[in-house]
Amino acid sequence: MAGPIDITGAMITTPTPAGDWLAVVPVALPIITGAALLMLRKRLHWQAPIAVATLAVVFLATLALLVRVWTFGTVVMTMGRWLPPFGISFTVDLLGALFACTASLVALVCSVAAVQSVARPARRYGYFPFLLLTAVGVNGAFLTGDIFNLYVWFEVFLISSFGLLVVGSTRAQLDGTLKYGVLNLIGTTLFLIATGYLYGIFGTLNMADVIRKVPAVEGAPLMTLATLYLAAFSMKAAAFPVQAWLPASYHTPNVVTSAFFGGVLTKIGVYALLRVLVLLFPLQLAGLSGVIGWVAAATMVLGALGALAQSDIRRMVGFLVISGVGVMLAGLAVGTGPALAGGIFYAMHSMIALTALYLLAGLVAERAGSSSLHVVAGLSSAPVLIIAAFILMLSIAGLPPGSGLWPKIMVVQAALEAQHGWLTAAVLLSSLLTVITLGRFFLFVFWRPPVADGLGERPKRLMSPGPMLALTFLAVVMGLYPEPFVRAASHAADGLLQPDAYVRAVFGEQG
Amino acid sequence: MRTLIFRAIAPYLTALMLLFSIFVTLRGHNEPGGGFIGGLLAASAFALYGIAFGVPEARRAMWFHPISVAGTGLLLSAISGLPSFFRGTPYLTGIWTTAPVFHFDVATIILFDLGVYLVVAGAFASIALALEDNGER
């Protein structure tokens, strides 16, 4: 094809800087090693090292990508050299880079924890390839700038997550996976319908192109479209009243799987809400903010109440995940810069702190031989766990010195400034309920004297608390030194509210 | 389904379908066809063979485990995007070059297509054979 044909009208002619390849590495590398691990299914001892090494490189790549976005602005790479909107653009702004970096860190820590806790049969059935392909879907969703491509990455991580949920094939797992699968497929179908509708209205799927075309479209039912997206992504984010799949499935698989899912997967729903509603349909978001506010309040308070009512530790953590999603939605409902920044920061905190809490629940259950709060008691011989549990309790409830304090303050302050008094009350009420829930967990597990014959058999080799401690340490760092995180989240929120830079990054100056 | 006629004709039909699947895949470069539909044809060829001679025989005929075939395809497709790094173009750009001795054009695009072919053939053959063997190995 080289030679006399003029390609400037169809293809990108400027050379791609090598640094822009950072946008592709978090997706392409785990696909390559995941595929290689599929072929090496019989080499069980190769699986874990390759997976951990891959995720370590992916984390470093997302970190470098974050630095690049922070210094040079939005990174764009349009696949196959076709000019946008015809090629699929990976458009990495600060929001996407922050989420991808945090999620990659969580994936890395989970893969390290999985080395010890995943049994041989699960490895033989492809635990690590599934983990890598889930990471592919997650990173792809955070990095892409094309809404149909976003749908594809949703499917990628959804299908891989089915695999992670069901591997092991106990009765409870099959039951949980079925509920998870059906309800999530309904969510993605709604997403697909909405995307078809969007394509019908705008004739484009590139998000930057949609932003350009929104003001020009007259009389299109954009409110319907925004509401459809709200419904679809709320299902992913496990917001009230479509949260039922989460507590039904997250306590059944291996605890590392729960930790990864609980930390990361619901935040993709929140991310997609931020991306689509704030960036593409800000006017419709203003109209929907009342509804989102009620949803947020209900999610927060009912999630915390649900957590309080559970006697199974992992189910309790599942409800806390839901409660946290409510806080992020509160930021979205208020919709001002500081509120969105609070929501974004809260999402980062939640990925780290809730993954750590799931891992802690796994450690507790392993040491006590049960995960029922009726049985587990008197674990006073594990000081490391006690300290970590206390810090995580403060973090998740939003008390100093934990990481949840600052984002909650940002959301509360923004809600008060925007005269959303009852939303503020809901945030504070859910925080109080969370303190009670986790305080009860703490008292039962660590302070109550051991129940006489309740404890089951202790396994000989205990899981190492290392991965959980690493995340807990990070939660403390975020709590004690929040400035960089606050600044990054604020910039990310500004990037959403002023999409000019996003559009310019994709289409150049003429956009 | 193990009638004499079916068993006599199944090997020829399987061979023909596999050949046709490769034809459809290569044709997909500029005309209707491509890796996905070609892979489906290949998977149905093995499914047919499995119905005629039983699943163990079909697995032996495939030589590699279907999942490994799919893994190879995924690997090929993902790798086919990498050479564009050295040309300063974005990921997955089609790169053309002329083979040094034989003087015909080669492209990364065909690598991607063959990857898709193998992914679809492997994944669907895996599903079809699992459905056919009724839980027995």
The interface predicted TM-score of the complex, written ipTM, equals 0.90
Sign of CA dihedral A341, A345, A346, A347: positive
**Antiparallel, parallel or unpaired: β A75-78 and A89-92:** antiparallel
Phi, psi of B98 (to 5 degrees): -105, 130
**Does A194 reside within a domain?**
no
* B61 close to A (CB below 8 A): no
Suggest the residue from B76, B80, B92 to mutate for an interface test with chain A (most A CBs closer than 10 A): B92
pLDDT for residue B89: 87
Instruction: Average the pLDDT over A358-368 and give the result.
Output: 90
pLDDT for residue A1: 47
**Which of B74, B84, B94 shows the shortest C-beta gap to A35?**
B74
Cross-chain Cβ contact B96/A2 below 8 Å: yes
Cross-chain Cβ contact B72/A35 below 8 Å: yes
Please give the Cα distance from B85 to A19 (Å, whole number): 11
Identify whether the C-beta of residue A269 lies closer than 8 Å to the C-beta of residue A234. yes
CB contacts, 8 Å: B109 with chain A: none
Top mean-pLDDT range of A253-257, A320-324, A441-445, B1-5: A320-324
Suggest the residue from A24, A39, A83 to mutate for an interface test with chain B (most B CBs closer than 10 A): A39
CB contacts, 8 Å: A133 with chain B: none
pLDDT digit string, tens, across residues A34-66: 999 999 988 888 899 999 999 999 999 999 999
pLDDT for residue B126: 93
Please give the Cα distance from A367 to A370 (Å, whole number): 8
Cross-chain Cβ contact A77/B91 below 8 Å: yes
pLDDT band at A204 (very low <50, low <70, confident <90, very high): very high
pLDDT for residue A207: 94
pLDDT band at A461 (very low <50, low <70, confident <90, very high): low
pLDDT for residue A458: 59
**Does A226 reside within a domain?**
no
**Does A479 reside within a domain?**
yes
* A452 close to B (CB below 8 A): no
pLDDT band at B124 (very low <50, low <70, confident <90, very high): very high
- Give the number of C-alpha atoms closer than 13 A to the C-alpha of residue A471, restricted to the C-beta side: 35
Cross-chain Cβ contact A78/B90 below 8 Å: yes
pLDDT band at A123 (very low <50, low <70, confident <90, very high): confident
CA distance A134 to chain B (A): 15
**Number of structural domains, chain A?**
1
**Does A432 reside within a domain?**
yes
Top mean-pLDDT range of A347-356, B80-89, B104-113: A347-356
pLDDT digit string, tens, across residues A254-303: 899 999 999 999 999 999 999 999 999 999 999 999 999 999 999 999 99
CB contacts, 8 Å: B73 with chain A: 35
Please give the Cα distance from A138 to A154 (Å, whole number): 8
CA distance B115 to chain A (A): 11
Which domain, by its residues, includes A303?
Answer: 283-452+463-499
User: How many other β-carbons are positioned within 10 Å of the β-carbon of residue A284?
Assistant: 20
pLDDT for residue A291: 94
DSSP string for chain B? ---HHHHHHHHHHHHHHHHHHHHHHHHTTTSS--HHHHHHHHHHHHHHHHHHH-HHHHHHHH-S-HHHHHHHHHHHHHHTTGGGGGGT--TT---EEE-TTT--EEEHHHHHHHHHHHHHHHHHHHHHHHHHTTT--
Q: For residue A305, is pLDDT > 70?
A: yes
Domain ranges of chain B: 4-132
CB contacts, 8 Å: B67 with chain A: 38, 41, 126
Chain A, 36 to 95: residues with Cβ < 8 Å from chain B are 36-39, 41, 77-81, 87
Suggest the residue from A14, A25, A29, A38 to mutate for an interface test with chain B (most B CBs closer than 10 A): A38
CB contacts, 8 Å: B79 with chain A: 32
